[in-house]
Structure 1
């Protein structure tokens, strides 16, 4: 069982929950319901994300030996070769699941998504702005994979919102060890407010739908904006780390808001359930090594 826990830590298992809603948001925008083979698409996102996390640790194994010696690779619990094998296997699984769930139209977007993930982990993350843009592109492509090639236009807004949030979180995450800056943290907080407003402003339909979207958007802002504001006031490493974690967790209610604004209540309920599972995982005893950052 400890071996399983080591791999769960390698891929940052709790954080994987934050990608299930991407394809639901994209699919909702394109008018797709979560049924039949399309259930495989969130699983495709999860595999691609987990593969990226394993590849991230493989790429960072030298740095982690100094800064995070407790991580699976530098601690010797998982070899670098095994981590690379896990990353490759999960990526292939993600591509296969995308084809299963969405056919050629989803697979056509899974290919550039996987390419962007590997580009980020092996090259782009070494540069602040290009790295953040690449990571945002990964999240946007994940949303678009839910819509499928040929149905991209209605999902572009959702993809842009998720991508924009991801860019802000990625820039903040660069300060987890040595601290961030007031400008970066303030910009992240401002982007949270703007994105929440954009989600609500783009809602069409009944009063009940608008209220549901408003509630989800408010939850999104409340979950990450306070931590971002603290990092802006005091941009030390600890606050940057907490703001990053909050930004990752806030992706789930943001996805819920994006699905609800297109009237896909079933997908919204699924995402709410995922959020509950995430809270349960985060309530694990502090001795657990499995983390999301």
Structure 2
């Protein structure tokens, strides 16, 4: 039996502690925001079927890979700005983080190919490449928010890969626009921001909510539900951005980023409900409160 890895002080560490460190590395609770991309895309393309859970699992693998690669790429910066994170604190080695990122990438691409065939593979490969491009190259450049937005847009299209993907493009662009606002804010979650940034992202969020609610040809509760869910999304994420605009210090900006991440299932639920998948939309939106509870234990940012 291999030795239990040792912590920074040299003492043996239990497997439960190791699992928690890895969960912190990959921002495990934030993965609740990921399956909804695939589900929203599948709903838009009319392909919500037995393949969707497998594609959602592939998406989660790629998301976790991106989080591990992010911390591996940022290990020197984090040693200065966030020394409590798993790698700079010595709880996870850079080699282990890189290996985990590579393994999860392979698992995500392989699962997408197994479940979604050639079309699933054709979307998963550029998605994985974009994730890695963001982490190791684009993140700290002006293109960073756009590249991350492309990751989420491709994630939505992964869900639509079994049908007419063109039908899912509006949903993909909506999720991408939301992601752009979150990523733009995240670049100031350590240093704080000028008030113009959260004001601008709040304006974008209002537009995203209005677009997601859309105009429905359906009647009754199915017509009202997308509007209600869009309002919920706007209230949760918008309020956090308004607070950051009033006091744009690092804590408020970081809280807005967290709200953007945990509020994404509500937006995804709105998009699913707009296609007529009302029950699915409600189920997705219900993940948002759960995500908020979990991130109190393990940070999503």
State yes or no: 1:281 paired with 2:289: no
With normalisation by structure 1, the TM-score equals 0.94
Q: For residues 216 and 89 of structure 2, what CA distance do their matches in structure 1 show?
A: 48
With normalisation by structure 2, the TM-score equals 0.91
Aligned counterpart in structure 2 of residue 8 of structure 1, from 23, 30, 40: 23
Q: Which has the larger radius of gyration?
A: 2
Range 267-276 or range 12-21, more displaced: 267-276
Residue number in structure 1 paired with 2:110: 96
Residue number in structure 1 paired with 2:33: 18
Residue number in structure 1 paired with 2:12: none
Residue number in structure 1 paired with 2:68: 54
What are the Cα deviations for residues 104-126 of structure 1, in whole angstroms up to 9, with x where unaligned? Answer: 11211111100000000000001
Residue number in structure 1 paired with 2:129: 115
* Offset of residue 215 of structure 1: 1.2
Q: For residues 118 and 36 of structure 2, what CA distance do their matches in structure 1 show?
A: 21
Aligned counterpart in structure 1 of residue 148 of structure 2, from 105, 126, 135: 135
Judge conservation of contact 2:69–2:98 (CA < 8 Å) in 1.
Answer: yes
Distance 1:149 1:134, change over 3 A: farther
Q: For residues 156 and 36 of structure 1, what CA distance do their matches in structure 2 show?
A: 22
Q: For residues 72 and 265 of structure 1, what CA distance do their matches in structure 2 show?
A: 40
Q: For residues 230 and 241 of structure 1, what CA distance do their matches in structure 2 show?
A: 11
Q: For residues 110 and 282 of structure 2, what CA distance do their matches in structure 1 show?
A: 26
Judge conservation of contact 1:108–1:149 (CA < 8 Å) in 2.
Answer: no
Residue number in structure 1 paired with 2:177: 164
Judge conservation of contact 1:182–1:235 (CA < 8 Å) in 2.
Answer: yes
What are the Cα deviations for residues 255-288 of structure 1, in whole angstroms up to 9, with x where unaligned? Answer: 00000000113422441343353244245xxxx4
Report the secondary structure of 2:143's partner residue: helix
More helix by share: 1
State yes or no: 1:80 paired with 2:94: yes
Judge conservation of contact 1:185–1:231 (CA < 8 Å) in 2.
Answer: yes
Q: Which runs of 5+ in 1 are unaligned?
A: none
Q: For residues 75 and 204 of structure 1, what CA distance do their matches in structure 2 show?
A: 54
Matches within 5 A, 1:211-230: 211-230=224-243
Aligned counterpart in structure 2 of residue 125 of structure 1, from 130, 139, 143: 139
Q: For residues 138 and 111 of structure 1, what CA distance do their matches in structure 2 show?
A: 11
Aligned pair count reads 286
Range 181-190 or range 155-164, more displaced: 181-190
Q: CA RMSD in A?
A: 1.4
